[in-house]
Structure 1
């Protein structure tokens, strides 16, 4: 009676204005959040028109019913759907009905109320007199025609599964099984989401519930809509799910995804060894089927560094040269291009794969060309140390691996590029004669072209600051001699420890360090003049001098400390050991940057190799190719 009197307040003029939405205040929305019907009626009785229930919405266009449903206020939801028809079909700014919101929030009681109302309305409009649980074909057809979707194409079942609300999902699956196969705008059905979530119980229930309706639709056609369920099961690395899907029909293993990748492609790329065995041993899938990029499954094992999968797939063909992609690249090409040094090392050590080492692709590139082109110093090192790899082969453009490396240089030389260059150079990978001439011409023409000093400004300034600091420190150390000075004649003012060998070493190292730092500073002043030649060449001289200066300063510190504590033997030895250790680290880390042209002498090459290997290990330069390529 009380509600009826309030509803009678809505005049014809109010009905005409119900299309004009009003912004719901925070105070008003709290009544829907609390879920107390009496309080809500008191709010309406306080002079507020009942029409606000229809016209007032939040900034997200949520109605009172949306709010009540999202907070699980079952009684208030029942109140709204009973007394305010049509409110349940209103959508917010995302296209969500109250049922979507309730399912996403996991409120089963509210979902039951709203779903019953929805189905009752479908039955009424379709003149059907059957229960919700009925398998009546006409009702099912009408329900399927009127699937509730939001702007993303998601049904309430999508929302329940995406938010991991199991009880709500199971109720929706058993009540409205057709929604389990409805594909959203991303090509994902609720069944796909269940497989992707690695939830075998949901998958079994969907397939079992669907089997009851096998007389009215083809289950195989339903499960093959949208994204591949088999690929999702493989990505989840769940062999039980994979077996469950293949029980329905083995043809699901022949389905490819949007990139034309077979399940075997997917299993190889995700390192799912159990899945590879299942697919190959039970269903004998073709290992030579290519995807849209022309890659075989074995190429993905090589690309992502999955050696175990690679070994399995190599067992099916003796001649590994048969495994080529659309660009004519074999597994060693792919591993080299993507920086997978573990795969490269395995191939180089495995008998029977020698024919891959110098194979060329359609562009004439060997694996060494591709590793150099993509700046993978670790792979270049593996290949160049193997004597069976030919270092001076030319591709179709007449380029060696060194030429390919230099052709792909862009802007400022990166750390990764420098290590690659040093590795190639120390291995004796030279340039083609034609490229030497072209490079000389480019260098000559570059001098006459406008030169951007901004690319070098920060580097020059940083090096100059370091050199000035070293010069200042070594200069000060020259006047604060360890051990002090003599006060008596005839040696007044002379250093107390003058005759100590360690002291003499300190003086020599300190002097060399200071003079080297001063030379670096002067050299870098020339680099500030703006002339391209006076910028590049002085930097090439400044780095080795700076390395000498840092080394001498470190030696000066070590000898100075040693000379004043030499009476305490154990401590002096500790200082010497620590000093030598960190001096070795300094040389290892700095040498590759101060010696741009490394020697091809075997001893020098070994030193360079271990130096670079340590640098790559410490700096994490066993690069993730996808991350590095995105950064570059």
Structure 2
């Protein structure tokens, strides 16, 4: 292409272009290395006046394509120049160039694909009216114009395409326009699609998911309602690959409202896979308490409580294996629960506790154990046996050396910190030292009881923390019994140092503040002295809550042991 023509096309200088034609009548046929004519260039930049002038001089340029397989109409559309594209479309119609309107680019996309993808709905409607066959086009990504329009949520374009019997509805990944409506969460478009093309509701994508199954997985309640309102039999569809029904998918995602909606339309909707895996098994497996409660409170689903999967496990077997106390509690509270059900291994629901003794150090395991003991006291003697306790103790011993090393480093660090603080406090006494004759160098507050309490507490804190720091050296011993004793003893000694430090702090400030602001001195003492007790309460709060929840059923055998 002549560089002068290229410059004129870029700037939209029609006069310069006309002048160049006078010099060379064929100059308009020149192209860039990419195969673009001056009409392509002006279409890229939206030079409408220049483009129309060029077409008036040589309308054959409408049929020229560049190296991307794009006509000038496609170029104007993809670059967002809707007015220019609309004007060009009229030129194509006048010249009866239908084949060029239908022309696909190198990706198999037509101008309608690009118009919808770019969000030019009015132009898309013009294109459909001008050439309905555009609705049949499917690009290399297997996308039809309808699929793109539904995905973008363009209702007007989607409805117009649905009215064309020959229009394609296919989409990428084996999906169709109804899958796209579900993804977009548009119940209005979904309703139109199932009314005009009901067969799409039963088509599966490459993962085997039908539109209604996708709606269940993504919690698209309004779409589900529209689909089931049109055809209630959709609620009975089963995934052809994994063989799970809609309710199992709802349980997997924990979509209680979706499950309720399915049961409202299909009260006997399938609730289990062929291998016996029910929605209750699924809800327990994913630890969804809300869905478990929904099943237990739905009369038509009560029969699921004691149903067994291919291994013979009930939902309670799985809940105990998962060590989820809330779900176990909910199942045990139901009047229909049967604790005598045996799985294929001949074991009742409490047996998984013996198989998961590595969790015996957790509060959840112990809480489940206590609840199962209450529900079936005679069946749990094996867990209370000495053999089980020895097994748990042995596993604890295996870990104690590494845990002791971490504990030692942390404890010694804190002990040295407390010793440093209390040592410094002993030589910076509250109130300072006396300068009076006969009592030089003595503490001013020496005769006050609060000061004496401060000195005693500070001394005890420093001595106990130093003792802990030096005892940590002995923790290098390999003897297990000594390490257990060491951890227990240093824990008590550290608590004593902690309490003595807070008492020393409280009475040190009391000595100075009380003569002037008594209420503040008392408040400081209460807060400081109460801090160790508050720390103890917060540290053991989970255990205290467990004790409170279980009441008389609380047993600390295993908790004390580990």
The alpha-carbon deviation at position 204 of structure 1 amounts to 1.8
Other structure's SS at 1:89 match: coil
TM superposition score normalised by structure 1? 0.60
Other structure's SS at 1:280 match: helix
Q: Indicate whether 1:147 and 2:104 are aligned.
A: yes
The correspondence for 1:88, drawn from 58, 61, 65, is 65
Q: Deviations over 1:289-313 (max 9, x none)?
A: 2113222111222222222222233
Other structure's SS at 1:464 match: helix
The 3 A distance-change label for structure 1 pair 52 and 359 is same
Counting only pairs closer than 5 Å after superposition, residues 17-416 of structure 1 correspond to structure 2 as: 34-36=11-13, 53-55=31-33, 68-74=42-48, 88-91=65-68, 100=74, 102-112=76-86, 131=96, 146-150=103-107, 153-208=108-163, 210=164, 214=165, 217=166, 222-223=168-169, 226-291=174-239, 292-315=241-264, 323-350=271-298, 353-368=301-316, 370=318, 379=327, 396=344, 400-402=351-353
Contact 2:213/2:246 (CA < 8 Å) preserved in 1?
Answer: yes
The alpha-carbon deviation at position 156 of structure 1 amounts to 3.7
Q: Deviations over 1:411-455 (max 9, x none)?
A: xx9xxx96755654665688987x99899899989999xx9x9xx
Other structure's SS at 1:364 match: coil
Once residues 259 and 175 of structure 1 are traced to their aligned partners in structure 2, the CA distance between those partners, rounded to angstroms, is: 37
Structure 1 unpaired stretches of 5+: 8-27, 121-128, 133-138, 609-632
Q: Deviations over 1:227-266 (max 9, x none)?
A: 2322322333333212222332433333333333344323
The alpha-carbon deviation at position 108 of structure 1 amounts to 1.5
Contact 1:517/1:549 (CA < 8 Å) preserved in 2?
Answer: no
The 3 A distance-change label for structure 1 pair 196 and 465 is same
The alpha-carbon deviation at position 472 of structure 1 amounts to 0.9
Q: Deviations over 1:86-135 (max 9, x none)?
A: 863312xxx87765554333211443477678x68xxxxxxxx9736xxx
Q: Deviations over 1:555-604 (max 9, x none)?
A: 56984688466655378558857996997588546766xx8xx9899349
Once residues 547 and 53 of structure 1 are traced to their aligned partners in structure 2, the CA distance between those partners, rounded to angstroms, is: 87
Contact 1:54/1:63 (CA < 8 Å) preserved in 2?
Answer: yes
The correspondence for 1:468, drawn from 405, 413, 416, is 413
Other structure's SS at 1:88 match: coil
Q: Deviations over 1:270-299 (max 9, x none)?
A: 333343333334422153321132221112
Once residues 40 and 320 of structure 2 are traced to their aligned partners in structure 1, the CA distance between those partners, rounded to angstroms, is: 59
Q: Which moved more, 1:278-287 or 1:188-197?
A: 278-287
The alpha-carbon deviation at position 476 of structure 1 amounts to 0.8
The 3 A distance-change label for structure 1 pair 404 and 431 is farther
Residue 569 of structure 1 corresponds to: 519
The 3 A distance-change label for structure 1 pair 90 and 286 is closer
Other structure's SS at 1:54 match: coil
Once residues 156 and 307 of structure 2 are traced to their aligned partners in structure 1, the CA distance between those partners, rounded to angstroms, is: 49
Contact 2:458/2:504 (CA < 8 Å) preserved in 1?
Answer: no
Contact 1:188/1:227 (CA < 8 Å) preserved in 2?
Answer: no
Residue 23 of structure 1 corresponds to: none
Once residues 232 and 546 of structure 1 are traced to their aligned partners in structure 2, the CA distance between those partners, rounded to angstroms, is: 67
Residue 126 of structure 1 corresponds to: none
The 3 A distance-change label for structure 1 pair 54 and 352 is closer
Contact 1:394/1:400 (CA < 8 Å) preserved in 2?
Answer: no
Contact 1:502/1:562 (CA < 8 Å) preserved in 2?
Answer: no
Contact 2:422/2:459 (CA < 8 Å) preserved in 1?
Answer: no
Work out the number of aligned pairs and report it. 522
Contact 1:474/1:553 (CA < 8 Å) preserved in 2?
Answer: no
The alpha-carbon deviation at position 552 of structure 1 amounts to 5.0
Once residues 377 and 545 of structure 1 are traced to their aligned partners in structure 2, the CA distance between those partners, rounded to angstroms, is: 31
Other structure's SS at 2:236 match: coil
The alpha-carbon deviation at position 324 of structure 1 amounts to 0.5
Q: Which moved more, 1:349-358 or 1:388-397?
A: 388-397
The 3 A distance-change label for structure 1 pair 466 and 34 is farther
Once residues 229 and 112 of structure 1 are traced to their aligned partners in structure 2, the CA distance between those partners, rounded to angstroms, is: 27
Once residues 480 and 394 of structure 1 are traced to their aligned partners in structure 2, the CA distance between those partners, rounded to angstroms, is: 67
Q: Deviations over 1:371-424 (max 9, x none)?
A: 5767867656755787976789875566944466679x9xxx9xxx96755654
Contact 1:69/1:98 (CA < 8 Å) preserved in 2?
Answer: yes
Once residues 204 and 548 of structure 1 are traced to their aligned partners in structure 2, the CA distance between those partners, rounded to angstroms, is: 75
Q: Deviations over 1:597-620 (max 9, x none)?
A: x98993498899xxxxxxxxxxxx
Other structure's SS at 2:32 match: helix
Once residues 112 and 574 of structure 1 are traced to their aligned partners in structure 2, the CA distance between those partners, rounded to angstroms, is: 82
The alpha-carbon deviation at position 72 of structure 1 amounts to 2.6
Once residues 394 and 532 of structure 1 are traced to their aligned partners in structure 2, the CA distance between those partners, rounded to angstroms, is: 44
